[in-house]
Amino acid sequence: MSIINTIIFKAKTTLCMKILCIGEALIDMICTDKGKKLSDGQNFLKKSGGAPANVAAAIAALGGEVELAAKVGTDPFGTHLKEVMDAFGVGTRWMWQDDKYFTTFAFVSLMHSGERDFYFNRGADAQLSVEDIEQIDVKQFAIVHFGSATAFLPGPLQQSYFNLMHKCIEEGIFISFDPNYRHLLFKDNIPAFIQLSRLFLRKCHFFKVSDEEAMLLTNTNTLDEAVDSLLQHTTAVFAITLGKLGTLLGMNGQTIIISSIPVTAVDTTGAGDAFVGAVLYQLAQARKPADTTWQQWQHIVQQANKAGARTCEYMGAMEAFKHLSNDIFK
């Protein structure tokens, strides 16, 4: 690296602005007895999870300054989640431990049919309250990311989510959104999920969805129809992840598919969160993320595709993030 490039890199690092992620931090219990129902499983692998926690860890791994607003229990699992975030360098002062509730668990087993046997034991994550959020000086953050899979379920977290969104709008803070639809969580109340998600699609500056989520939220049957609908009904920049095909980027009536890089996939868990983390990390280098140009967005997504792809080379999101660094952008 030349002396001039070194000076530029250091300047960008100095100017890097803070990011806040809000939502759940939880424990995934993965049944390692292949093909067995949860009731028959004997062996489980504990993994730290929660989409906002994943995004925060990815940002920190890349060198960004990020904090996580979440609630866990005072049990050993909540303590473990805080320790994992601390180890990545994520700020955890807004990661409360509540002694009245157990840390949230998600149990999952992959059946021979390809279906997932799933059980969700919700606890402390739902209890992140408006009173908790009011303690955060949101003006210290340039970007706030709303990426919770559980925030649209009933509970104090839902109200806190929208309370923080309105505070961000009032302060002119860049809003990022990832709906993180989980059918097993919302299969009995899909309309409510769609309605609440659409509120964020209209208010945010950037959102990431999968192709399935894009069609779900726009009530369309094809990706082309979904893209047309999003271009008409939101002013946000959006990224639709297409797996190994790359990412469709949309902005101001324009779209382009940006290719990913070839990798030998071991586990796709956390790839989308790594992608979002890489996008936000890069946006935080700018003084005004909302002023990012079409050409700059294309470069950002190209680099974020690398982060998502590299994550697939390792088993488990948090394990993959240990291998992330901003070297992937060189």
pLDDT of residue 41: 93
pLDDT in tens, 71-130: 999 999 999 999 999 999 999 999 999 999 999 999 999 888 777 889 999 999 999 999
Residue 329 has pLDDT above 70, yes or no: yes
DSSP β-bridge partners for residue 48: 27
Residue 3 has pLDDT above 80, yes or no: no
pLDDT of residue 16: 57
pLDDT of residue 268: 86
Question: Is the domain 3-25+51-101+125-329 a CATH 3.30.2000.10 member?
Answer: no
Instruction: Look over the chain and give the mean of its residue pLDDT values, rounded to a whole number.
Output: 92
Residues 6+ apart with CB under 8 A from 188: none
Instruction: Outline where DSSP puts E strands in the chain.
Output: 19-22, 26-31, 44-49, 66-73, 95-98, 105-110, 116-121, 143-146, 174-177, 206-210, 237-241, 247-251, 254-258
Domain ranges in the chain are 3-25+51-101+125-329
pLDDT of residue 205: 98
C-alpha distances in Å from residue 264, one per residue of 107, 310, 313, 315: 27, 9, 6, 12
pLDDT in tens, 293-327: 999 999 999 999 999 999 999 888 898 899 888 88
Helices (H), 204-283: 211-218, 223-233, 271-283
pLDDT of residue 97: 98
pLDDT of residue 5: 38
> Which run of H or of E encompasses 99?
none
Across 14-28, 216-230, 280-294, the highest mean pLDDT is recorded for 216-230
Contact 103, 72 (CB under 8 A): yes
C-alpha distances in Å from residue 166, one per residue of 141, 182, 204: 14, 25, 11
Instruction: Give the pair of three-digit tokens for residue 17.
Output: 């602005």
CA distance linking residue 207 with residue 17, whole number of Å: 19
pLDDT of residue 115: 78
CA distance linking residue 51 with residue 59, whole number of Å: 12
pTM of the entire structure? 0.92
Q: Mean of the pLDDT values across residues 179-201?
A: 95
Above pLDDT 70, what percent of the chain? 95
